[in-house]
Structures are given as C-alpha cells and as structure tokens.
C-alpha cells in the first residue's frame, strides 16, 4: 500500500515537471528575443538630379560621311560631351578610332541608305543604351549640333516617373501604316513620330517597355512589318504597341525646316540644330561671324563659339 502511494506521488511529480518544462519552452519560443523580425529592405534612394552623365547620346552615321560630317562634330559639340556620346557607323576608321576609342561603334549594318540598314543601326543604338544603364537615350544624326546645356535643361523638366518620348514631328499630321494581321489580313494604324533628322529622346522607363519590339533583331523585324524607316518605327512602337504618345518639342531642328527663321538670340535655347540642302538651297542658321560662310558653311563652328567662347580655336571676345 505504501509503495503504491509513493509510486503515485512520483508519477504526479513527473507529470508536473513535464508540464512545467513544456510551459517554459512555450514561453521562451514566444519571447521577443527569439522571434525573428522581418528584415525590411532599405528605402530606395531618390533619384539624384539629372546630370549630363545620365544621358546616352547616339550619333548615326556612315563611312562616306566620316570626314565631311563627323570631324566637324568632334571639333565642336562632341568635344563637350565626349563621355556621353557614341558614334554608330558601318565602316572601320583608324583616325576616328584614335579620337573616339570605345565610343566609336562599328556595327555589322549595311552602308546603304535603306530601311533595313537604318533600322539595323537604330537597333544597335537601342541595345547599347539598354546595356549602359543610363537614364535617357537621345538619338541624333551626323548633321545635327547638340546643345548639351539646353538638352539637360529640357530633360530636367520632364517627369521621370512617366514614359517620355520627345522630339519634333516632321509632319503636321499622324502617319498611316498597314499593320499585318493573322490570316493575311491587315489593319490601318496611325501614329505620330519624331523625325530622326532633328533628334529625339526616350527615358529608360519607356525604353524597357519597348524592348520586345526594339531590342536585338526585333527592331528590324518590326520595321519590316510596317515597311517604314527607323524613326517611324520608334513612333509606331511607342504609340501603337504601348499606347504612349509623342511629346512634340519645337527645340529640336532638322534641315527640313527653314532654319534662317531662328533668331540669333534663340539659338542658345535650342536643343538640336542642323544644316543641309532644302528645296535646292543651302539651309543653315543665320549667325553673324565669327567665321565667314566660306570658312564655316554649316555655321556649326560659329555656333559653337557663341555657346562656348572659351574654346581655344574660337576668336577672342565673341559677342553673345
């Protein structure tokens, strides 16, 4: 009887001991020291104010214009934007390679002035921009002068959180294209586009969305589908595929407009300028000195001295 009682007490004590240990483990497990606090990612740093170093400037050219056009650009505006500027061409050139180094991009594109050749170069520009990680892509031709100060001023005014495609339309109406559809059908689409001859800019947010139609071989394929050149294809992708809109700007200029209408006082505010033959006549900006039209037929050297009078080869005391 006594042994049975002792065994019962021992069993009760063992039960109480087990319950106590279980309770202790339970409370320890809920202790704040043992509960893992989820690690929150640090807040994303706010984008710094846009700098010229954030802009990728692509110049499209061809071997035939290396001497007549590119050397002029290298002596003028590219000398102020060398780290941001990349020249896309179709021919190797030792002289240009020495001056530009890795900023000369020799593509595998044809030297022809055809839709496939032009689209091939635009695709190379677009892919190089995506790989750069920079915030803005700006395309110009080899007959454009890029005013870096005005460009930066313009881009800083644009909403960074939205899709932005900005440039100058060459037409006063949308362009129409026939878009292929399944079962050998097609539909008529219309859209605005910024002429490549005046230059245009696209922010990274929009460029990433364009990639399925614009990166690698897709750009050439898209251009072939609508049978339009590269600048039209950019507008088609933005407006017809993504539902975006071109933001027209009067600050971009091509040789297909009357450049003499720009007053000298307006020139420092323009983002791009150009020169060329329009309606059978030489079409250049109207600017007095410091170089004569014979010395400076494009007027780019005179413009550069107006914007950067400290340039070593500019005559001293250029009137602003």
Q: What is the pLDDT of residue 19?
A: 47
Question: Helices 115-132 and 204-214 sit at what angle, rounded to 10 degrees?
Answer: 130
Core vs surface per residue 56-67: b (16+ CB within 10 A) or e? bbbbbbbeebbe
Instruction: Give the CA distances from residue 82 to residues 52, 138, 181, in Å, rounded to whole numbers and listed in that order.
Output: 11, 14, 44
Would you write out the chain's pLDDT as a tens digit for each of its 320 residues? 444 444 444 454 444 444 444 444 434 333 333 333 333 334 334 568 999 999 999 999 999 999 999 999 999 999 999 999 999 999 999 999 999 999 999 999 999 989 999 999 999 999 999 999 999 999 999 999 999 999 999 999 999 899 999 999 988 999 999 998 888 888 999 999 999 999 999 999 999 999 999 999 999 999 999 999 999 999 999 999 999 999 999 999 999 999 999 999 999 999 999 999 988 899 999 999 899 999 999 999 999 999 999 999 999 764 44
Degrees to nearest 5, angle at CA 62 with 56 and 67: 100
Q: List beta partners, residue 86.
A: 58
What DSSP state is assigned to residue 161? T
What DSSP state is assigned to residue 61? -
Q: What is the pLDDT of residue 268?
A: 98
Q: What is the pLDDT of residue 317?
A: 60
- Token code pair at residue 135: 């915030």
Distance in angstroms (rounded) separating the CA atoms of residues 50 and 155: 8
Q: List beta partners, residue 140.
A: 59
- 54, 231, 296, 310: the catalytic one is 231
Distance in angstroms (rounded) separating the CA atoms of residues 262 and 285: 7
Distance in angstroms (rounded) separating the CA atoms of residues 210 and 138: 15
Residue 195 near residue 272 (C-beta atoms within 8 A) = no
Distance in angstroms (rounded) separating the CA atoms of residues 60 and 139: 8
Distance in angstroms (rounded) separating the CA atoms of residues 41 and 244: 32
310 is catalytic: no
pTM of the complete model: 0.83
* DSSP SS3 for 278: strand
- Token code pair at residue 212: 């399925």
Which ranges of 215-275 does DSSP label H, i.e. alpha helix? 218-226, 230-236
Q: What is the pLDDT of residue 240?
A: 97
Work out the end-to-end distance of the chain between its first and last CA atoms, rounded to an integer number of angstroms.
119
Q: What is the pLDDT of residue 2?
A: 44
Q: What is the pLDDT of residue 47?
A: 65
């Amino acid at each position: 009887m006594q042994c049975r009682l002792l065994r019962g007490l021992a069993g009760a004590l063992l039960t109480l001991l087990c319950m106590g240990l279980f309770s202790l483990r339970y409370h320890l497990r809920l202790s704040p020291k043992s509960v893992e606090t989820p690690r929150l990612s640090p807040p994303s740093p706010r984008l710094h104010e846009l700098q010229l170093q954030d802009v990728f400037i692509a110049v499209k050219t061809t071997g035939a214009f290396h001497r007549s056009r590119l050397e002029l650009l290298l002596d003028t505006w590219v000398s102020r934007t060398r780290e941001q500027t990349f020249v896309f061409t179709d021919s190797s050139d030792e002289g240009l390679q020495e001056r530009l180094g890795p900023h000369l991009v020799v593509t595998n594109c044809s030297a022809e002035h055809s839709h496939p050749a032009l689209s091939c170069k635009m695709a190379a520009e677009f892919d190089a921009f995506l790989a750069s990680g920079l915030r803005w892509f700006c395309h110009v031709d080899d007959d454009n002068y890029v005013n870096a100060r005005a460009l930066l001023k313009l881009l800083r005014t644009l909403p960074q959180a939205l899709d932005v495609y900005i440039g100058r339309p060459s037409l006063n109406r949308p362009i129409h294209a026939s878009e292929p559809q399944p079962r050998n059908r097609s539909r008529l689409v219309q859209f605005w586009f910024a002429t490549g001859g005046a230059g245009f800019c696209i922010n990274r947010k929009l460029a990433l969305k364009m990639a399925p139609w614009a990166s690698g071989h897709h750009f050439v394929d898209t251009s072939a589908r609508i049978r339009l050149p590269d600048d039209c294809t950019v507008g088609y992708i933005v407006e017809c595929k993504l539902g975006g809109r071109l933001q027209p700007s009067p600050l971009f200029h091509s040789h297909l407009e009357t450049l003499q209408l720009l007053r000298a006082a307006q020139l420092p505010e323009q983002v791009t300028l150009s020169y060329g033959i329009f309606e059978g006549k030489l079409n250049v900006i109207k600017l007095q000195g410091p170089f004569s039209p014979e010395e400076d037929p494009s007027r780019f050297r005179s413009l550069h001295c107006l914007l950067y009078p400290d340039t070593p080869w500019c005559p001293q005391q250029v009137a602003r």
